[in-house]
Every structure is written in C-alpha cells, then in structure tokens.
Amino acid sequence: MGVADRWKDWEEPQQQGGVRFKAPRLTSAVRLLLIINVAVFLLLWLVPLILSSETATQSCIDVFGLYPVDWAAPYLPIWQFLTYGFLHDPGSPSHLFWNMLLLYFFGTMLEEVLGHRRFLTAYGIGLFVGAGLHCLGFMLSWVGHSAVVGASGAILCVTVACAVFHPNRSVLVFFIPVTLKVLVGCLVFFDIFWVVKGMGGEQTGTAHLVHLGGAAFGFFGARRGWLQKDLFARFQARRAIRVEEKRRDDEGVVDGLLQKISEEGLGSLSEKEKTALKRASERSKG
C-alpha cells in the first residue's frame, strides 16, 4: 500500500458527511514518545524535591537542554541536539500539553503512513535540524541566550509532513474546520514573523528557529521522499551484502589453499596461510 492509498483511509470520515471528530488509534512510536516526554517532565518536577535543591531542575536543563551559550571547546555537548526535545519546563505544563496533543493527532497520522521506524527517524532528524538552525541563529545573534527545551521542532516537522502528504484534509482547530495546508501556513508564518522581529532585538522567549528548522525538514522530507526511505533497512542491506562478499572471499581463499595442499602437501603452507585457513574455517562454523 503506497502513501496515497494510506491517506485514503483518513479521508473516509470526511467524505461520508463533512468534518467529524474521530480520535485516532494510538500507534506504537507515538505511545513511546508520549511516555518518555511525560516521564521526563515528572522527573524534572520531582528532582528538586528529591535532592532538596531549588536549582536542580535548572542544572538538568543546562546540561540536557539546547544551550549553545555554554559551548566552548573541548566541551561540545552534541547530545543536546536530541535531548532538548524530551525536556519541558515543569513550570509550564501547557507547553508539554500542547506538544503532546499535537503529537497524538498528527504523529499517529504520520506513523500510519511511514511505519514506526521511519517515523521515529523523521522525528529525531526534525529535532536535530531544528537545533542546528537555532545554533546558527545564536551565532548570528538572532536568538537569546536561554536554554531551549521542548519537542516543538519535531512536532512542526510531523505536522508539516502531514500537510504535504494531504494538504486538503480538514482538521478542527478550536472547533473550527481548517485544511492542513492553511493550519501549517499560519503556524509557519507566525514563526517567520517572530524570527524577523527577533533579528531586530525583540525576543518572545520561544525558539522560533527550532520550529522553522523542524518545519523545513518536514516539508522537504515529505516532498522529496526522504521520509519514506528506511535508513536502517538500507544499512542492514549493505551490511548483509558485505557479509556475503566476505563469505565468498573466504571461500575463494579456502579453495585456493586446499588446492595447494592437494598438490604440494600441508607443509607447503606458510604460517600466514595456515592462520588464514584457520580463521576462514572458524568464520564458516560461526
């Protein structure tokens, strides 16, 4: 079943009688992401109570949030490009709520098309690209010095990808039906507007460049077919090919050495050839 065929399943409620609310089935990757994000949020909330330290949460955010102001060789915490997306400020539960709500509706939609492995790959790359664009903005002094946390970059990646696959699908926004292309267009325009304002020194406290980075990858990834490619399957296929080529090479070496033994005897083999024969034999048994 292709991408277009899978989207037909999402069209049916609309075709049968206008826009209807239908809660999507919770998919495996989205369930995993929801659990991780909520668990980390609760952990950050409990850390000050457990350690009896009011600064413990901020310390965790400084280490695992995206905090380029603190980067200086040799301290280059590359892990922040991913870990920031699983942190949400305990003082702002609404941030977590809206991100997880969008993840539930649009993440399940996209996972039905891509499958759980390709969906998780797209989600992770969305976080990475959003972080990269934010760091570029930091170097150009377009953004503030606060640590960035939240899954919004990946959420925009997922939402934009859904809009590319099916731009005219209607969704309810505060009980008002709008098409996905209109919704995404408004979200992206809002972020671009505030990025431009930020270049003039006006900051909102929201990492709009992270949003735009995720949105850009979602758009081009869906349009160019990157999201549909299974990077892990390709890696496994190439690894299988290399293993098979190595096996054939070993067989060729063994055949040549056995031929030499047949013609000249075992004593004709050098120590290097004996070692090669022994290794090839052990690999064939394994």
Residues 139-168 have pLDDT tens digits of: 888 887 888 999 999 999 999 999 999 899
Residues forming a β-bridge with 171: 178
Q: How far is CA 175 from the centre of its chain?
A: 30
Alpha-carbon distances of 39 from 35, 77, 101, rounded to whole Å: 6, 23, 16
More confident residue, 232 or 175: 175
CA neighbours closer than 13 Å in the CB half-sphere of residue 185: 7
DSSP one-letter code for 66: B
Mean pLDDT of 168-186: 89
**Residue 55 has what DSSP assignment?**
T
- Bridge-partner residues for 178, per DSSP? 171
Q: pLDDT category, 70, cuts 50, 70, 90? A: confident
Predicted pLDDT of residue 1: 41
How high is the pLDDT of residue 162?
A: 95
Return residue ranges of the chain for CATH 1.20.1540.10. 3-229
172: DSSP letter:
E
pLDDT in tens, 75-127: 889 999 999 999 999 888 999 999 999 999 999 999 999 999 999 999 999 99
CATH number assigned to the domain covering 3-229: 1.20.1540.10
Q: Quick one: tokens of 136?
A: 């570029």
Tens digit of pLDDT for each residue in 30-62? 999 999 999 999 999 998 888 878 788 888 998
Q: What does the alpha-carbon distance between residue 158 and residue 217 come to, in Å, rounded to a whole number?
A: 9
pLDDT tens profile 200-222: 777 777 899 999 999 999 999 99
131 contact partners, CB below 8 Å, separation of at least 6: 66, 80, 81, 82, 84, 85, 148, 153, 210, 213
Q: What is the mean pLDDT of residues 180-195?
A: 93
Collect all residues with Cβ–Cβ distance below 8 Å to 85 and sequence separation of at least 6.
127, 130, 131, 150, 151, 153, 154
Q: Is the pLDDT of residue 9 over 80?
A: no
Banded model confidence at residue 11, pLDDT cuts 50, 70, 90: very low
Predicted confidence (pLDDT) per residue in 124-140, tens digit: 999 999 999 999 998 88
Q: Considering the entire predicted model, what is its pTM?
A: 0.75
- 6 by Cβ neighbours in 10 Å (0-12 / 13-18 / 19+) ranks as middle
Of the chain, the end-to-end C-alpha distance in Å amounts to: 38
Query: Which segment of 83-87, 140-144, 170-174, 246-250 scores lowest on mean pLDDT?
Result: 246-250
Structure confidence at residue 271 as a pLDDT band (50, 70, 90)? confident
Q: Considering only CA atoms, which of 125, 148, 111 is closest in space to residue 220?
A: 125
Question: What CA–CA distance (Å, rounded) separates 99 from 109?
Answer: 15
Helices (H) and strands (E) in the chain, counts: 12, 2
What is the spatial distance between Cα 262 and Cα 44, in angstroms, rounded to a whole number? 71
Residue with the larger pLDDT of the pair 7 and 129: 129
Beta-carbon contacts of 195 under 8 Å, excluding residues fewer than 6 positions away, are 137, 142, 208, 209, 212
Residue 121 neighbours by CB distance under 10 Å: 20
